[in-house]
Structure 1
């Protein structure tokens, strides 16, 4: 699949990039995508939820009333889950929601997500660029030149660039990531993927290993 290379003014440079069929042209695997996104979202959960059980409630342990003869159910402590303010039965406890996935499956999921974006013509390639200084206006101008202002975009860079990252940080619905950090969820969550020429090479080299 060939994609025309644009400059930061949104004009064609005359160059073209051939997107690898082994990455952007595979038959997508929906189940692999489901598992990878599920793992990503599970890993975002803090898992710090906690409720107090009966043995953790502060209160007296005296018997409330005699065992028999009251006509009511027997009760041994005010900390019983049956009473207001008592402990909770089978309440949430701190836990790790993460689970393991094989590297090959995660790789298949990322390639499947990229293939979907390529089929939808939601992939743009820019010539390599940087900003001279940190300016939100510069990144806003880039989006406007590409007719992406207001759309959910994901810019993929081959290497860290603080000027670009900090310039984009204050704009809603935009995200900047490194090619080495690209994940299935971010690809699917973006409306348009914007690569630089070198980030396409970095991505394809990473998948080739």
Structure 2
């Protein structure tokens, strides 16, 4: 699959790159994509929720009424879950929602997501670029040149570039990651994916195994 290489103003440079069919043109595996996205979202959960149980409630321990002769059910503690202000039965406890997936499945999920985006013609390749200083204005100019300033976009860099990352941080609709940070969720979440030319080799090397 051939894609034209653009400059940061959105104009063709006259060069083309060949995207590997083993990464960008496979038959998508929807279940692998589902599992990888589910794991990503599960890992975002803090799991710090907690409700007080009977033993953790502050209250008197005296027996609140006599055992017999009241005509109602016996009751021994004001902290009982049946009373207002008592402990909660089977309430939430802190827990880790994460779960494991094997590397081959995660690799298949990312290739499936990239293939779906390639099929939708939502992938662009831009020549390598850098900023001398972090400046949001410069990053917006790049997005405008590529025609994606009002769309959710994902910019994939070859190596971590601090100035480019900092320049994009104030923009809600745009995300910048290095090739090693690319995830299935971020691929699917973006309307357009922009690969910096230097990122393709690493991505194809990692995902074509």
What range describes the TM-score normalised by the shorter chain of this pair? over 0.9
1-structure distance, mates of 2:108, 2:81: 48
Q: Report the CA distance between 1:203 and its aligned residue.
A: 0.4
The CA deviation at 1:73 is 1.0
**Could you give the per-residue CA deviations for residues 83-122 of structure 1, whole angstroms, max 9, x where no partner exists?**
1110000000010001111110010000000000000000
Matched with 1:199 is 199
Structure 2 spans left out of the alignment, 5+ residues: none
- Show the counterpart of 1:178: 178
Q: Using the alignment, how far apart are the partners of 1:208 and 1:138 within structure 2?
A: 34
Moved more, 127-136 or 20-29: 127-136
Q: Distance in 2 between matches of 1:53 and 1:172?
A: 40
Determine helix, strand or coil for the equivalent of 1:13: strand
| 1:141-168 Cα deviation digits (max 9, x unpaired) | 0011111011000000010111101111
Q: TM-score, normalising length from structure 1? A: 0.98
Alignment partner, residue 9 of structure 1: 9
- Cα distance in 1 for residues equivalent to 2:20 and 2:153: 22
Counterparts of 1:39 and 1:132, CA distance in 2: 37
Task: Tell me which residue corresponds to 1:69.
Answer: 69
Measure how far apart 1:201 and its partner are: 1.0
* Structure 1 residue 208 displacement after superposition: 3.3
Secondary structure of the structure 2 residue equivalent to 1:33? helix
Q: 1:72 offset after TM fit, Å?
A: 1.0
> Does residue 1:35 correspond to 2:35, yes or no?
yes
> Structure 2: how far apart are the matches of 1:137 and 1:129?
15
Give the aligned partner of residue 157 of structure 1. 157
Residues 1:91 and 2:87 are matched in the alignment: no
- 1:124 aligns with 124
CA distance in 2, matches of 1:149, 1:208: 31
Name the SS of the counterpart of 1:9 in structure 2.
Answer: coil
Taking structure 2 as the reference length, what is the TM-score of the superposition?
A: 0.98
Is the partner of 1:188 in helix, strand or coil?
A: helix
User: Paired residue for 2:141?
Assistant: 141
- Listed as ranges, the matches of 1:101-120 within 5 Å are 101-120=101-120
Specify the SS of the correspondent of 1:175: strand
Matched residues in 2 for 1:48 and 1:119: separation?
A: 40
Asked whether 1:81 is paired with 2:81, we answer yes
